[in-house]
Amino acid sequence: MASDTSKRSSYFLISPMAAIFAIFLVIPLLTIVVVSFWDYDEYRILPDFIFENYSYLLGSSVTWKIYLNTLKYAALTWGFTLLIGFTVAYFLAFHVRSLTWQIVLFMVCTIPFWTSNIIRMISWIPFLGRNGLLNSALINLGIVDQPLEFLLFSDFAVVLADVHLYTLFMVVPIFNSMMRIDRSLIEAARDAGASGFETLKSVIVPLSKPGIAIGSIFVITVVMGDFITVRLMSGGQSASVGLQISNEIGLLQYPAAAASAVVLLITVLLIVTGLLRLVDIRKEL
């Protein structure tokens, strides 16, 4: 009897959250799934139940190329942000001794976020261009004779901008995990004769895993869905899944865009599931 009441009251208590999820997540998602089976022509979407959107999407070599390209960007960005993010977090957590300085330096990391990410991205363009600051400097210093063309409108530029934009997403959760590591564990490792590198490998990295996983989820999902960085930094010459969806929406091909969105969602969910299999982030929360 008593357990019944508590059951009912807990259903009651979760209902606002459930309603919000239903209205803002489940219903829109279902709509996208439904529309992905519709037909379309140049200016209308036609209710229908066809698999043409999916069969074209999955059968086209363009899709595979675009997915490979997007995964390449995601993997490279993930690798670099992890390396940089882990290093920065390690420095903040273990080398900076005073809490005040930790806070100050942490704030410094967030300063770039005070401007819009479009601005941060676009500022790279005049810097990296053929007659840009970097190329002029390199030529004036006599390091190169010809301007380096690969700097802008290339995969290099895309990954550079992504790393610049998203490294903080890696720093924050890793720093958070590291701050929770009991310092006596490190002392114990040292007392037991472990070198600095062994301590890092056997103590710090395993205990930072939840932070790494959370950071990775942030970075990978953002890069997988990104379209504006790819468009601006590749000079429109490369494609990503997000860009493909954005183009389809622009051309009123909503069903095709919906199908692409569903496939992308499944892909990202698979990646996230894989990550969660490797690391139990619930321990962290």
Partner 1 sequence: MTIDMKKSAKNLATDTGVSRRGFVKGAAAVTGAAIGSGAITGFPTIWAQNIKNVTLRQFGTGVSNINAVADKVKEDLGFTLQMTALDSDAVAQRAVTQPNSFDIADIEYWICKKVFPAGTMQPMDTTKLKNYDAISKLFITGKLTPDSEIAQGTAPHTVGFVEGADSVEFASAPTQWMTLIPTIYNADTLGIRPDLIDRPIDSWADLLDPAFKGKASILNIPSIGIMDAAMVCEAMGEVSYGDKGNMTKEEIDKTIAVMIDAKKAGQFRAFWKSFDESVNLMASGEVVIQSMWSPAVAAVRSKGIACKYQPLKEGYRAWGGGIGLAKHLSGLELEAAYEYIDWYLSGWVGAYLNRQGYYSAAPATAQKFMSEDEWGFWMEGKAAQGDILSPDGKVMEKAGAVRDGGSYEERMGSVACWNSVMDENKHMIRKWNEFIAA
Among 130, 136, 137, 144, binds partner 1 (CB under 8 A): 130
112: number of Cβ within 10 Å: 14
Q: Distance between CA atoms of 213 and 236, rounded to whole angstroms?
A: 31
Tell the residue number behind the tokens 């009251």, with chain if given.
9
Q: Scanning residues 232 to 251, which ones bind partner 1 (CB under 8 A)?
A: 234-239, 244, 247, 249-251
Smallest distance from partner 1 to CB 120, Å? 17
Of 149 and 182, the one with the shorter C-beta distance to partner 1 is 149
* Interaction of residue 43 with partner 1, rule CB under 8 A: yes
* Interaction of residue 112 with partner 1, rule CB under 8 A: no
* Interaction of residue 73 with partner 1, rule CB under 8 A: no
* Interaction of residue 193 with partner 1, rule CB under 8 A: no
Among 14, 19, 46, 62, binds partner 1 (CB under 8 A): 62
Of 207 and 249, the one with the shorter C-beta distance to partner 1 is 249
Residue 13 Cα distances to 3, 6, 10, 19, 30, angstroms: 15, 10, 5, 11, 25
216 and 275 Cβ atoms separated by less than 8 Å: yes
* Interaction of residue 31 with partner 1, rule CB under 8 A: no
Tell me the torsion sign for CA atoms 6, 12, 13, 17.
positive
Which amino acid would we find at residue 206?
Answer: P
Number of residues that bind partner 1 (CB under 8 A): 34
Torsion on CA atoms 277, 278, 280, 284, rounded to nearest 10? -140
* Interaction of residue 125 with partner 1, rule CB under 8 A: yes
Distance between first and last Cα of the chain: 33
Smallest distance from partner 1 to CB 179, Å? 43
Between CA 244 and CA 119, with CA 237 as vertex, the angle to 5 degrees is 85
Smallest distance from partner 1 to CB 206, Å? 40
Site for partner 1, rule CB under 8 A: 41-44, 56, 60-62, 65-66, 69, 125-126, 129-132, 149, 152-153, 231, 234-239, 244, 247, 249-253
